[in-house]
Every structure is written in C-alpha cells, then in structure tokens.
Amino acid sequence: MKTAVRFGMVVLGVLAVVGLMVPSAALAAKEIKIGVIYPLTGGAAAAGRELRAGAELAAKIANNVMTDISMDMAKNSGIKNMGGAKIKLIFKDHQGNPTIGADLAKKLILDDKVDGILGCYHSSVTKTVSAVCEQYGVPMINGTSTSPALTKRGLKWFWRTTPHDKWFTKDLFELLKGLTEGKVRGVKAVPKKEIINLASACEKTEWGSHVSDIIKSLAKEYGFKLKKSLLYASKSPDLSSEVRSLKAVRPDAMLFASYTSDAILMVKTLKAQKAAPKIIWGQDAGFEKPEFRSTLRDSIVGILTRTVFLPKVAQIKKVAGQVNTLYKKNTGNDLGGASARAFTGLQTWVHVLEKAGSTKPADIQKAANALKIPGKELVVPWAGIQFAASGDEIGQNVLGSGLIGQYQKDKDGNLVLEIIYPFDVATADMIFPFSF
C-alpha cells in the first residue's frame, strides 16, 4: 500500500513538473468551436452551399499540413499558438430570416458554447446576429455582408473583412467614367452622352435598399442621370411590370441588386421584353452564382457583375490558383465571390486566434483590433486585412477592393467571367455595347 501511495505521489510530481514545462497554450482546449450561420435552405440556398464549401475548405487547410498551399495557415496543423487546437465549424441555417438568425446565434452561444461566430451573408441577418454577439460579448467575423451600415454602429465585437457596397458601386462608376476616357480594354472612348442615362432595380431588403441609395448618391457625384430607381419585393414571382417601368425611361445602363432567383427572373424578363440597354450590371449576389450561369447560359454573355474573386485571379496570384484547384475538386465549381469571401472570413479567424493564443473574448478582441494579414496570404486580390479601430467604420477591413467581371465565351466556347476592372488587371476586351 505504501508503495502504491509513493508511486502515486511520484506520478503527481511528474505531472506537476510537466505542467510547469509545457506552455499554457499547449494545455488549451484541443478544439475551437466557431458557429457558422448561413442560408442553407430557401431562396439563397445556392449561395449557402458556396459559403459552406468555402469555410469548410479553409478549416480543412488550417487543421492539416498542406505544404503545396502558399499560406501560413497551411503549415501549422491547427492553431500553433494554442498547442495545435483544431477548428470545429458548427453550421446553422438562418433561411434568410433575421429573427431565425438571432435565435440561432443565442443557441450557439448558450448551448454550443462557441468561441466565436462567422456569418451571415444576408446583411439583414448579420445585423441581428451581430447585435446578439454584442449583447453576450462574443466575437463575430463577417466575410460576406456588404451593407455599409453594418460597420457604422460602433460595435466592439464585430469585424468585417469584405469591402462594402459603397466601394463596389464606386467601382462601377469608375468603370463608366473609364469608358468615356478610353481606359477600358478593347473599347474606344465613348461619349458620355451615350451612357449617361441609368436605371436601377434593387430588392427591397436591408442590402438592396442600401445599394439603391448608394447608386443615387454616386450617379449624382459622377454626373450621370438616374432616370428610374425602383425597389421590388424579393423572391418575386413576376417582374414584368418592373421591367416595363425600366424600359420606359430608355436607359443606357441597367443596374441591379438581386439574389439568385430574382436575378435569373429579371434577365429572363428583360430578354422576353426585348430590353436594349448598352450595359447590364449586377451587384454580385445572384449575378455570380453557378445557377445563374447554368440556367441562362448564352443569354448572359456581356453582362457585368461586381465581385471580389474570379477564377482569372489565379493567373495573377499563385495562391488563388492553388486554393481554387482544391475547391473545384471538392465542388465541381470554381471559387466565386461568396465562397472566396467565406474562405477568407474563416482564414481571418485562424489568424486572429494565432495572434490571440487564446479563446478568451478579450484576447480575441485585442488581436483582431491589431491584426494585419498581408495580401500575399489571401486568395482574394486585396492589399490585405486590417480593421479600422476608430472613425465611423469601426471593424471594417480597410485594405479590401473589388473587381468587375463580364461573362464572355472563351476560345473553346465555354462561358467564363473575364476581369474588366480594375483596368490594369483586365484579362479581356470588354464587350460593348451589350445585346441579347
């Protein structure tokens, strides 16, 4: 009996010594739980599948060693500064409903005891979920919601990696301006009077309403005439009257903010009514989804969409090509704006956790506010990620930027998105004017 007691005391002594020798981070939990709230069913389910696949791929790379991927998180097999702790993603479906999103956030925080939140795509849902996170002091990183108002609330537990709609819409007006100045690849300077008349139709949601207001503001700033600006009910079964209203003002360019089902219906209706704008531009969302492409096929050749990622980025950024290859192997599709930003959102979580070396909210908050991820680490063509810690856009990444792509046919007849803007990275001549 004395021998057993003596042996037990020796074991305890060894464990105590080991405890002193091993860094506290290594004794941290072996699993870090991130709640991920996306629209996995409903009208935006197609986007939800992309978002989920992007976040899952980022977690897989972070949790394993993948030496052929040229980014730091592919070399650590977990969070290095937390003893190799693995990322566990807990997905929840908000169905595009802000109330459901808020309820799910509470359940993730109170029942699943998550260390942080990633989401939510719909700006309206992100608004309610971030309010819950603020109430409970739980960090939230948003990778894909673009309503400018989200980072104007002075929240202490909310950070957004993606540029917002004012930046993206400004890109459009820079493109229009560039058309008049002869800066667009393959297009001679276009007299402003030939593209001066605009019309917009945006869905009547948190996101669409903000885009509509931004279009009004920038049209005035850049000296264009917005002849018609309308808001329509999202998931509309019929857009015939809206298209007739747009056509009536004979616009040179039509501008849209629509999710997938509405974007498809809008283009079908435009074609059926023989609309003849010289430019059609979509504010990403439905205009970039695989379903938009596969449903409408050749009808969309010449249509423009803003985005943060196009497969053509792989031609100018090695790491983008490496990750896109993995994503396409997993899903059968190239990375798009939604999936690339979801990937980047989870990647940002990884960098924040590495910097914090802890899952304590205060440590995560401090790390996020001091974070700077260099652009070379990212699949998106940004200068990097650095969050504003003061001013009127607290938590907004100040190093992001956008792209404008145009649907074209490649030499093999495949439908692809070519980069049209920024002008210095354009991958093809712009098709102008557009026609069905």
CATH class for domain 28-163+315-385? alpha beta
Which tokens go with 20? 């002193």
Q: What's the pLDDT band for 235 if we cut at 50, 70, 90?
A: confident
Which tokens go with 391? 């001013």
Task: Work out the mean pLDDT of the chain and round it to a whole number.
Answer: 92
Q: What's the pLDDT band for 422 if we cut at 50, 70, 90?
A: very high
Where exactly are the structural domains of the chain? 28-163+315-385, 166-307+402-425
Cα–Cα distance measured from residue 359 to residue 365, given in angstroms and rounded to the nearest whole number: 10
Convert the pLDDT of each residue in 139-165 to its tens digit.
Answer: 999 999 999 999 999 999 999 999 998
| 137 DSSP assignment | T
Q: For residue 25, what pLDDT is reported?
A: 39
Return the SS3 of 95: coil
One-letter amino acid of 410: D
* For range 402-425, the mean pLDDT: 93
One fold for 28-163+315-385 and 166-307+402-425: yes
240 pLDDT more than 80: yes
* For range 273-291, the mean pLDDT: 92
Residue 256 contacts by C-beta under 8 Å, 6 or more apart in sequence? 200, 201, 202, 263, 266, 280, 281, 282, 283, 287
376 pLDDT more than 90: yes
Q: What's the pLDDT band for 12 if we cut at 50, 70, 90?
A: very low
214 pLDDT more than 80: yes
Order the strands of the 197-203 sheet from edge to edge.
225-232, 197-203, 253-257, 279-282, 304-307, 403-409, 415-421
Convert the pLDDT of each residue in 51-93 to its tens digit.
Answer: 999 999 999 999 999 999 999 999 999 999 999 999 999 999 9
Among the listed ranges 8-17, 239-248, 369-378, which one has the minimum average pLDDT value? Answer: 8-17
Sequence-ordered strand ranges (E) for 209-258:
225-232, 253-257
CATH of region 166-307+402-425:
3.40.50.2300
192 pLDDT more than 50: yes
343 pLDDT more than 90: yes
**Closest by alpha carbon to 92, among 103, 83, 82?**
103
Q: For residue 207, what pLDDT is reported?
A: 87
Q: For residue 284, what pLDDT is reported?
A: 81
- CA 55, 60, 62, 67 dihedral sign is negative
CB of 184 closer than 8 Å to CB of 178: yes
Q: For residue 19, what pLDDT is reported?
A: 44
| pTM more than 0.85 | no
Element spanning 170, H or E: helix 165-181
Q: What's the pLDDT band for 288 if we cut at 50, 70, 90?
A: confident
